[in-house]
Structure 1
């Protein structure tokens, strides 16, 4: 089984971290949908990262669908979702917030680093940056202040997704969100980045 895509994508990184934390064996093929378009296209005509190439050659795309497959095929007893309905509801909510921040971060990258300067929409850019700040503001209000994880005493998919989004925004938009403005979120991210699965997926 192979995961294709660059770790500087928040969607690829959350997928790889999830596989590691669930104990699922895989090969990581580091290809860019831009620089390695032809090679990526030969693997998956959709040229979408992440792509999961299953052992039978079939493909799965979209990080959430791939992660759902991992959850259903992980070794017995392993899961990154809480069992109880209330904790699961909270975990799904916060994972969705993390995905929203990551998505807006990708929009910002396209607007500032892919789109030609003369074609950039500054109004759209300001809106996206505001959405990123507002999303992290909602998350900051929901992070436990006692150093626990988002949905209990162990890391869940919510922690993975939120921490990955936080790191991605810091890497691609330095200064957009300050640790001092979101201290609980910054502490949560630092706690997650110290986990072995995170450390194995660091990127510059």
Structure 2
């Protein structure tokens, strides 16, 4: 399999970490949406990452779709999202909050990069508050001291970790010590090579 995109994107990174955790072999083409737009559109007409080229040549786009396919490949005993029931719903809820918080970080980051004359301060403040509310909800889940939804690590943890790391990288004041339980979980997860080794390196 071929993973398209670089791990600066939290959505590419959660895909890479999941591939590692599931023991699925892949190679990565670390294309940047800014510098390799044409190459990326060859895999995804939207020009977005990640994309995953499957072994049979099928191309999957969007990390949620890719991760669902990877869980299916790995089988129910190894999948990072439980197969059914309340456990599945709990993980999917936490994943949705993590993805939503991360998307708000992305929006706030892009707003922060606008020239002062066209920056919409109210929108940036709203996006920041939404991201903080999402991370706060995950922080409350992390207060029990285990993983977010289970005694085992799940996709909820992978998504939360990659989202918080991204926030700390691009908008360090957004989290800035506000989520200590989630930060502790993040550090524990990053100590696992399958996750920690996917951190973006300049």
Pairing 1:165-184 to 2, within 5 Å after superposition: 165-179=163-177, 181-184=178-181
1:96 match: 96
1:192 match: 189
CA RMSD for the aligned pairs? 1.6
Shift of 1:160: 0.4
Q: Deviations over 1:103-123 (max 9, x none)?
A: 01111222123x444222111
* TM-score normalised by L of structure 2: 0.92
Structure 2, gaps ≥5 residues long: none
Shift of 1:84: 6.0
Moved more, 48-57 or 187-196: 48-57
Q: Deviations over 1:110-145 (max 9, x none)?
A: 2123x4442221110010011111111222222243
Q: Deviations over 1:85-116 (max 9, x none)?
A: 22222111111110011101111222123x44
Structure 1, gaps ≥5 residues long: none
Moved more, 62-71 or 181-190: 181-190
Q: Deviations over 1:15-52 (max 9, x none)?
A: 11111111111111100111111222233332110011
CA contact (8 A) 1:23 1:75 kept: no
Shift of 1:83: 4.9
Structure 2 vs 1, CA of residues 127 and 68 (structure 1 numbering), >3 Å: closer, same or farther?
same
1:74 match: 74
Pairing 1:1-204 to 2, within 5 Å after superposition: 1-74=1-74, 77-83=77-83, 85-113=85-113, 115-145=114-144, 147-179=145-177, 181-204=178-201
CA contact (8 A) 2:4 2:29 kept: yes
Partner SS state of residue 146, structure 2? coil
Number of aligned pairs?
Answer: 201
Mapped partners of 2:59, 2:98: distance in 1 = 25
Q: Which 4+ residue blocks in structure 1 deviate beyond 4 angstroms? A: none
Moved more, 157-166 or 73-82: 73-82
Structure 2 vs 1, CA of residues 98 and 155 (structure 1 numbering), >3 Å: closer, same or farther?
same
CA contact (8 A) 2:138 2:148 kept: no
